[in-house]
Chain A
Amino acid sequence: MTDEPLLSVRGLVSGYGSTRVLQGIDLDVPRGSVVTLIGRNGVGKTTTLRSILGNVPPSEGTITFDGTDITTLSPEKTAREGIALVPEERRVFPGLTVTENVEIGRIGGRRDVEKPSVDAIVDEFENLARHRNSRGANLSGGEQQMLAIARALVSAPDLLLLDEPTEGLAPAIVKQVQRKIEELNDDGATILLVEQNVQVALDAADYVYILDKGRVVHEGPADEVAAADEVLDRYLGVSMAD
């Protein structure tokens, strides 16, 4: 075990076609911590995750994961290094059953680790265990979110990327997702979270990066950021002391 961060991003520039969405991002995710990225719509949060995964190849900068340079790796290879994604809008396979969705997640991920069994993972989620044979399309939004998390967890990833996991969920379900994130972190998982719900983001995080226009404009431990009213107001349009 070293003090090196598990994931380290330096000078990341990336985008689509001629549009440069990310203009030089630096960020670190230490082992065992929850780091969140917050910012308005369209500032580059999802693009950051997609660049880390290799879905959007970076044009400049480096991404180092567990000592390995993964900057130019394809998504399939990145996943094999031990990074799992819970994507925006969940993207469970609608025609596959709950069990199959988890099974396919188990095929992915690192090859050299022991992975939990599909049943063991499904059992951890009460509302999935009740619907093992339901198709993804027939689950509620909250259940789909849990399924997407289960699909990622079953590959025993070293780093979990969560993209807007509370988006569009009812407050009670948001609480469930929040609890799940806490539980995972208590078990030692390393998490990079993109979140629009500032409250959820600040509660869950150890460390926070605020993005604006493709750059990190503010960073710090979660409690300090939560107190930095002016910053929150300026970049997110919310005030904690409202």
Chain B
Amino acid sequence: MSVASAVAEQVLNGLVVGMVYVLLAAGLSIIFGVMDVINFAHGELFALGAYFAFAIAGPLGGAGFWVALVVAPLLVGVVGMGIERLTVKRLYGRDPLYHILLTFGLVLIINDLITSVWGKSAQPFPVPSVLDQPVALFGFNYSLYNYGIIVFGSALALGTWLLLNRTRFGMIIRAGSEDREMVRTLGINIDRYYTLTFGFGAALAGVAGIVLGAYQNVSPTMGSSVIIPAFVIVVLGGLGSFRGAVVGGLFVGLVQTFARTYTPFLEGLIVFLLMIAVLVVKPTGLFGTSVGAGDHHDGALLHGSGGGVLSAETRAKLGYAGVGALLIVPLLAEVTGVTYSVTLLEDILIWALFALSLDLVLGYAGLVSLGHTLFYGVGAYASVLTLMHVSPSVFVALVVAVAVCAAIAWGVGYLSIRVSGVFFAMITLGFAELFYNAVFKFDFTGGSDGLFGVDAFYGLAGLGIDPGEFTVPLGPFVLDGGVVQYYFLLAVVVGSYLLARRLIRAPFGSVLQSIRESEERASFIGYDVTAYKRRAFVVSGGLAGLAGGLFAANNGYVAPSFLHWINSGEVIVMTVLGGMGTLYGPMLGAGVFVAAEDVLSSYIDQWQLVIGVLFVLFVIFVPRGLVSLPQTVADHPIFESAVGDRVGEQAGVTDPEVDRHE
């Protein structure tokens, strides 16, 4: 085959993948443009399309594929409309963060439903035999199905463009994305169009899922593997821009395909590098017009109520009691033989520290870091690499982990904090994915296996404890090195909490709180708001690195999964679950989340489903988190008379319309 035809084949392959991305990104982008919703569940709707088609086509035989191609997207569209009606609709007017959280919960639910119906393993979804043959065009053979994808995808994209630009429906959608209140004032029920738009976007994702499912196979992970590239495309092209989704989708498809063939090292990296480069140069993306155009008010982030009905003393006592209980657990575990509880607690402590670190940016600086696992993972790698190559001391390893992460946070913050909101979220996600893909590429990071079998020495310059050789006989029981690790971890986590509390109570923290209250005012009393946010991000990155470093040092390994975006999602869930903007809330949230996950997963197979449902309910009904529960209960009419003298009112959500009045 000549060079020209080899290149041509690559172009075609790129266009095939690109078309799938176009369909995915178009739906995502329309949904964001019209409703400001960042739909993390879009990837699962994509997978759902593939599975519906798989289920429909199988029994029908020959013509089944064609029936499925029509029916499955419609079903996904109906699912999408149901999701909008039942969940998303309730959150309009809140900060986009809540949509991210909600749809993250939906990811867990849909994904678990898929695995429980169709199983965990990938299944072949054959292309209809008519299409499954090569055709000779331009001097070489190429699959008819692939040509079909390109033609079909182009037709759908064109159809979508026509729908948006040449129909009454499209006109109302475009007008609604610019000024929804005005559309209402004209007499048009925009809510109905929102539902239809969500359904339409979901159906497009469904089509993309079928197309790709038949190109490769169907598997429960197909959603999570496309969602991040789809976001990259939407951000790269410009949020809410259809043209951006088309150009970005094809471009990413081509770039990925060419990179795979010609620069395998850059495969998986280049897309994120491109996104970061584009955003640094043009924060609105290639075809984006302006940040927060139209009437997109960002609703307020809802913080956990600081004091609530529990006084500071009560909370301090509870805190001491908690730490006290944590101190005696290893002894109890030894006595009762339930050693597994120590492992669970270690897990909780690590996540509590990770959630605490996120809360410093999310709850105090108001920055939604969607890629926080970047620091957790890098901290873990830095810690293990230091232990392997520099020093066996856990102290040295942790110092390196914190320093490396703080430095990376400074760099990422420098590039991204001046562009606010959604773009910050996307850039952090992009960096996290960049590092996630990078650790597979290098030998020194152990590739896809990670690094194993590292021993840490709990001391410095020979003075200290080696957990491998540590034993203390205690009556009939023996305390081993695991106990050292546990207490070390507990001390670091409690110490970090105290440090964070210090920071928050110092002038630095009071400025962060003022920024949270009113960024504009803070800047007009003389504070460099961007610099403060960046510093908070550096501190946060350092603490997240400490969490990752601790886990890696204690367990003696690190793997690429430490950098997987699902961790970033989970830590946000914990933070909001507990109540962001309070330091103890997120730690509590981590405890509840990890414990619930542990308990549920040992009793039921569909534990993700249960967690997802609980979480969706939580985001809708208890957005201020667990720490606000006593207050919410006290505010309930039944109890109100009993708690008559509560101080002040819970900081209310300000009506976003209030600043519009004359």
Q: Give residues in A with beta carbon < 8 Å to B.
A: 16-17, 19, 21, 41-47, 50, 53, 55-56, 74-80, 84-85, 87-88, 91, 93-96, 100, 103-105, 107-109, 151, 155
Contacts and interface: CB of A to CB of B under 8 A. Distances in A.
B344 interface: no
A79 B658 contact: no
Given A42-B662, A95-B174, A96-B171, A85 B187 contact: no
Contacts of A44: 662
Contacts of A85: 185
Contact of B184 (A74, A93, A100): A74
A41 B187 contact: no
Nearest to B188: A108
8 contacts: A17-B658, A41-B662, A46-B662, A53-B185, A56-B657, A76-B185, A88-B662, A108-B186
- 7 nearest CB pairs, A to B: A79-B187, A108-B186, A108-B187, A16-B658, A46-B662, A75-B184, A93-B175
A93 B178 contact: yes
Contacts of A79: 184-188
Contacts of B181: 55, 75
A91 B652 CA distance: 29
Interface string B575-586: 000000000000
B179 interface: yes
B187 A109 contact: yes
B602 interface: no
A87 B175 CA distance: 15
Contact of B655 (A16, A100, A104): A16
Query: Could you tell me the dominant secondary structure of chain A's interface residues?
Result: mixed
A75 B185 contact: yes
A80 B187 CA distance: 5
A100 B185 contact: no
Contacts of A105: 186
B168 interface: yes
Contacts of A19: 658
Interface string B161-201: 00000001001101100110111111111100000000000
Interface string B202-215: 00000000000000
A40 B533 CA distance: 40
A87 B182 contact: yes
Contacts, number: 90
B654 interface: yes
A107 B193 CA distance: 14
B662 A104 contact: no
B389 interface: no
A186 B424 CA distance: 55
Given A93-B174, A103-B171, A108-B187, A21 B182 contact: no
A55 B658 contact: no
B662 A93 contact: no
B661 interface: yes
Given A91-B182, A93-B175, A104-B171, A47 B187 contact: no
B501 to A, nearest CB: 33
Given A55-B181, A95-B178, A104 B657 contact: no
B9 to A, nearest CB: 39
Contacts of B179: 91, 93
Contact of A155 (B187, B190, B658): B187
Contact of A47 (B171, B172, B184, B662): B662
Contact of B168 (A45, A87, A107, A109): A107
A84 B183 CA distance: 12
A17 to B, nearest CB: 5
Contact of A104 (B172, B652, B658, B661): B172
Contact of A16 (B183, B185, B188, B657): B657
Given A16-B655, A45-B662, A46-B661, A96 B188 contact: no
A95 to B, nearest CB: 6
Contacts of A104: 171-172, 175, 183, 186, 188
A151 B657 contact: no
B178 A76 contact: no
Interface in B612-653: 652
Contacts of B655: 16-17
B651 to A, nearest CB: 13
A204 B657 CA distance: 30
Contacts of A16: 655, 657-658, 661
A41 B662 CA distance: 7
Given A17-B655, A53-B185, 18 more contacts: A17-B654, A19-B658, A21-B661, A75-B184, A75-B187, A79-B184, A79-B188, A84-B186, A91-B179, A96-B175, A100-B171, A104-B172, A104-B175, A104-B186, A105-B186, A107-B172, A107-B186, A108-B187
Nearest to B182: A91
A137 to B, nearest CB: 9
Contacts of A88: 662
B185 to A, nearest CB: 5
Contact of A109 (B175, B183, B186, B654): B186
